[in-house]
Structure 1
Amino acid sequence: MPRPASPLIRYDSVISTSLEIIDAEGLEAFSLPRLARALNVRAPSLYHHFADKAEILRGVARAIVVETRMPDSRTTPNWIEWFVALSLNFRHAVLQHRNAAPVLLRFMPRDVLIRTYEQSARFLTAVGVPADQCVLLLDGLDKLTLGAAIAEAAKDPDEAGELFGTADPESEPTLANAVAQNRMSTEEVFAETVRSFLRGAAPYVPADAPPPDGLAGRTVADLRPSEAS
């Protein structure tokens, strides 16, 4: 039997198909036999290319993260709004694949994210953040952004976009009133949370300090580890 002109199992096809299955059917439905059927191959054949299911899920997590777009400094007025935009872009990338969000908790591709951390650390230093304070800001942003995205993705579909939507006016009147008075969407609340964190963690940096240049239209995948801000 002649060999096919191109391999039946390609890395990018396996990862994209895996993500499609998880998006459409849920993480619980994903398995190597299910993936093999979608690829029209035998499940054991996958082991010639991947050590196990976990390796495929690592690729899925990477595929989600590299979709994150770097903000356009031409449309972000200052350093805080640049980080707000970056955080929103990451949140959007995760929420595009809600069913796959738990994969990020276990298989977050730190080797990819280190590119943004290095670029961000150089940028923070340039606007006046002392070296011994950079980790505080980077780790705080990391936890805020990932935590908020995972929490939003984990909501039931009928609760998506709601904040404390289950508050009962009878048993939780104060909370229910606060929810009724709130005029911000979940995205707006998240953005303001990031702003508040940055203002509080780095009050010595001028609010009008400019954003970094040269990253418009690029994604996390485009950054090189050695690239300066």
Structure 2
Amino acid sequence: MPRPSQPLISRSAVIEASIEIIDSEGLEAFSLPKLAKYIGVSAPSLYHHFADRSAILSAVARHIAGAGSIPRRRPGPDWPEFFVQLALNFRRSILRHPNAAPILLQYLPRDLLIGTYEETARFLEASGVPTHLHVQILDGMERLSLGTALTDAVRGPSTRTTIFPNVDPDSQPILARALSENTLTSKGLYEEMVRSFLYGVMRNENARTTEESEPAPASV
């Protein structure tokens, strides 16, 4: 069947329909014929906006990852809290579509976040964070946020005591006791992980700066 001379659907409609199919039926069920039928067009109509299935999945990844909002916070000494909220927003966007987690892992391009990177680097600079730490912070935040959020999406919801599943109190008494005393949900653990990373970067930097500024011991 020849491709129609004019697009019958919008690019955004294709992306939204793709997400709906993946949310309801899973990634394995997603195909171009099914997508076309779902929208009510012929398959060639999809090629007005996308070259192939991979191009659609890449757009889906961009859409989901880009749905997280940028926190409104003034630069200052509490700058890590900006990134904590940014990470939580990103996690929430991913967990809205857990069936799409493998798409994000495979198709999410790093250049999607270039604008956000520049924005956050500017925020770091205005907060007094040394420039040589920016790459460490931004790269670490991406790896930590993406990896943890995708893991939570694949594993599904858990409670404070089921963070580690199938723990046997008899053969694993210490881990069982640790779970019983844990006060954090998966979201809380994620939040504290991000916070520990960011404040840890600055503690290491301050310790290094202090060490370098101390005078060397006098030789005997």
**Structure 1: distance between partners of 2:187 and 2:156:** 17
1:107 equivalent in structure 2: 107
Please list, as runs of the form range in 1=range in 2, the aligned pairs for 1:33-182 lying within 5 A after superposition: 33-73=33-73, 78-156=78-156, 159=158, 162-182=162-182
Deviation at 1:111, TM superposition (A): 2.6
Aligned to 1:154, the other structure's residue is in SS state helix
More helix by share: 2
C-alpha contact 2:159 2:186 (8 A) present in aligned 1: no
Q: Where has structure 1 moved over 6 Å in runs of 4 or more?
A: none
Deviation at 1:66, TM superposition (A): 1.7
**Structure 1: distance between partners of 2:61 and 2:40:** 23
Deviation at 1:112, TM superposition (A): 2.5
Deviation at 1:171, TM superposition (A): 2.6
Write out per-residue CA displacement over residues 125-149 of structure 1, whole angstroms, 9 at most, x where no aligned residue: 2222222221111111111110110
1:220 equivalent in structure 2: none
Let me know the Cα RMSD of the aligned residues: 2.2
2:213 equivalent in structure 1: none
**Structure 1: distance between partners of 2:129 and 2:115:** 19
- Opposite residue 59 of structure 1, the aligned amino acid is A
- Opposite residue 107 of structure 1, the aligned amino acid is Y
**Structure 1: distance between partners of 2:142 and 2:70:** 15
Unpaired runs of 5+ residues, structure 1, are 206-229
Write out per-residue CA displacement over residues 56-110 of structure 1, whole angstroms, 9 at most, x where no aligned residue: 0011011102211111327x99312111001100000010111001111111132
**Structure 2: distance between partners of 1:160 and 1:69:** 26
- Opposite residue 39 of structure 2, the aligned amino acid is L
C-alpha contact 1:152 1:160 (8 A) present in aligned 2: no
Write out per-residue CA displacement over residues 2-30 of structure 1, whole angstroms, 9 at most, x where no aligned residue: xx9x8422111000000011011111111
> Quick one: structure 1 residues 160 and 111, their matched pair in 2 at CA, closer, same or farther if it must change by over 3 Å?
farther
Deviation at 1:165, TM superposition (A): 2.7
Deviation at 1:192, TM superposition (A): 0.8
C-alpha contact 2:7 2:45 (8 A) present in aligned 1: no
Aligned residues: 199
C-alpha contact 2:61 2:103 (8 A) present in aligned 1: yes
> Quick one: structure 1 residues 77 and 121, their matched pair in 2 at CA, closer, same or farther if it must change by over 3 Å?
closer
Deviation at 1:48, TM superposition (A): 4.0
